Amino acid sequence: METIGAIFVWLFFGLIVGLLGRLLVPGRQPMGWLGTVALGVVGSFAGGFLTYIFRGGEPLQAAGMLMSILGAIIVLAIYISMAPRRI
């Protein structure tokens, strides 16, 4: 039962971080709710990796709220630059 609770916490945290990351990046981001949650979770690990680069620790770790949002912004910028352009 503890694992299910942790999954829901990660999904909620991912949603909040993903929404904040999308809010801070200008322009249109073509993704739905699941994409936003995935953005937040991946952004959290990207922020954790940035923390590892600059401060040490574990290379594959989740980050705090600020580094997670920074990671989500970076991941979203990469996603937008690689997404095919629509005419």
Query: How many C-beta neighbours within 10 Å does residue 20 have?
Result: 17
pLDDT digit string, tens, across residues 38-79: 999 999 889 888 888 888 777 667 778 888 999 999 999 998
The answer to whether 59 and 49 are in contact (CB under 8 A) is yes
What pTM value is reported for the model? 0.83
Distance CA 48, CA 57 (A): 9
* Structural tokens at position 31: 């993704």
pLDDT, averaged across the chain:
86
